Structure 1
Amino acid sequence: MLIPIYLTDSMTVSPQILPSDVARLAAMGFKSIINNRPDGEENSQPLNREIERLAKEQGLAYFHLPVISGNITQEQGKQFGQLFAQAPKPIFAFCRTGTRCSALWAMSSDELGSFDQRIAQAAEMGFDLSWVKPSD
């Protein structure tokens, strides 16, 4: 089931999507998908290459930055920031719950003016990111 959580006009996060959701994301106007889940995290999750193939068929930019839950590094924050800067907007990012994507965005984006404002926005959307530190 597709559950978009809009952090800003340019950044939406979500729990795991299904292959059948990709065409709907394109129809909703998203231009890019960022997948933050490693393959095999759960037995039932679709493989990265399947979501990537479908995204490309829909004309969406697709990026895979696998991040292990509970183990986000500063380097991954920087990498996400680079993806965020180059990806056509609006971006739809997903992981198991949306928390990793929200954390990576808060660490590395310059949206909303400050790190603290991004943490507050994520909290308003239901994500406790009190453990997150801004990327260098």
Structure 2
Amino acid sequence: MREDDHMTEFRKVTDGFWVSPQIRPDDVRAAAERGFTLIVNHRPEGEEPGQPEGESIAEAARAAGLAYVAIPVRGRPTAEQAQATTEAVSATQGPVLAYCRSGTRSIAAWSLGQALTGERTRDELLGLGAAAGYDLEPWL
């Protein structure tokens, strides 16, 4: 839900995992205020002119007391990227906010990790994706 015209939309997938299109440092403060404990950046540096650098998000996360991890994904997430996402999410206490350009690679990386570990079924993941506004059919 948009809090104002300047904030990025955080989309709930589960109580513990949310995704978002590209965030900015101001969004990190809002994430901290909402109780997130980890920011996962799935966006490669320099993917698009004018995108905030990952380091600016990492600095904002540190300043807000949040953990930060970068797992850049180009195209379809690999098994290694899905595993790294799963490990980062499971290693933190509290909700996680993951982002990329649109949020699609973030939810895809998380979903693949869930599928590979057997944590959730494909149908359950498709339903969670749809509820968050993402079509995971091509990704799973």
**TM-score over 0.5 for the pair:** yes
Gaps of 5+ in 2: 1-6
Residues 30-109 of structure 1: pairs in structure 2 closer than 5 A = 30-68=36-74, 70-109=75-114
Name the aligned partner's letter for residue 58 of structure 2: E
Q: TM-score, normalised by structure 1?
A: 0.89
- Change in CA separation of 1:7 and 1:83 when aligned onto 2, cut-off 3 Å: same
Q: Secondary structure at the match of 1:106?
A: helix
Percent identity between matched residues is: 37
Q: Is the contact between residue 61 and residue 88 of structure 1 (CA under 8 Å) also seen in structure 2?
A: no
Offset, 1:112? 7.1
Q: Aligned pair 1:132/2:139, yes or no?
A: yes
Q: TM-score, normalised by structure 2?
A: 0.87
| Per-residue Cα deviation, 1:80-125 (whole angstroms, up to 9, x for no partner) | 1111111232001110001011111111136974232012210222
Query: 1:111 & 1:46 partners in 2: Cα distance?
Result: 35
Gaps of 5+ in 1: none
| Per-residue Cα deviation, 1:56-76 (whole angstroms, up to 9, x for no partner) | 0110011110001x2321221
Name the aligned partner's letter for residue 3 of structure 1: E
Q: Aligned pair 1:13/2:19, yes or no?
A: yes
Q: Is the contact between residue 79 and residue 113 of structure 2 (CA under 8 Å) also seen in structure 1?
A: no
Query: 1:18 & 1:86 partners in 2: Cα distance?
Result: 24
- Change in CA separation of 1:2 and 1:124 when aligned onto 2, cut-off 3 Å: same
What is the CA RMSD across the aligned residues, in angstroms? 1.6
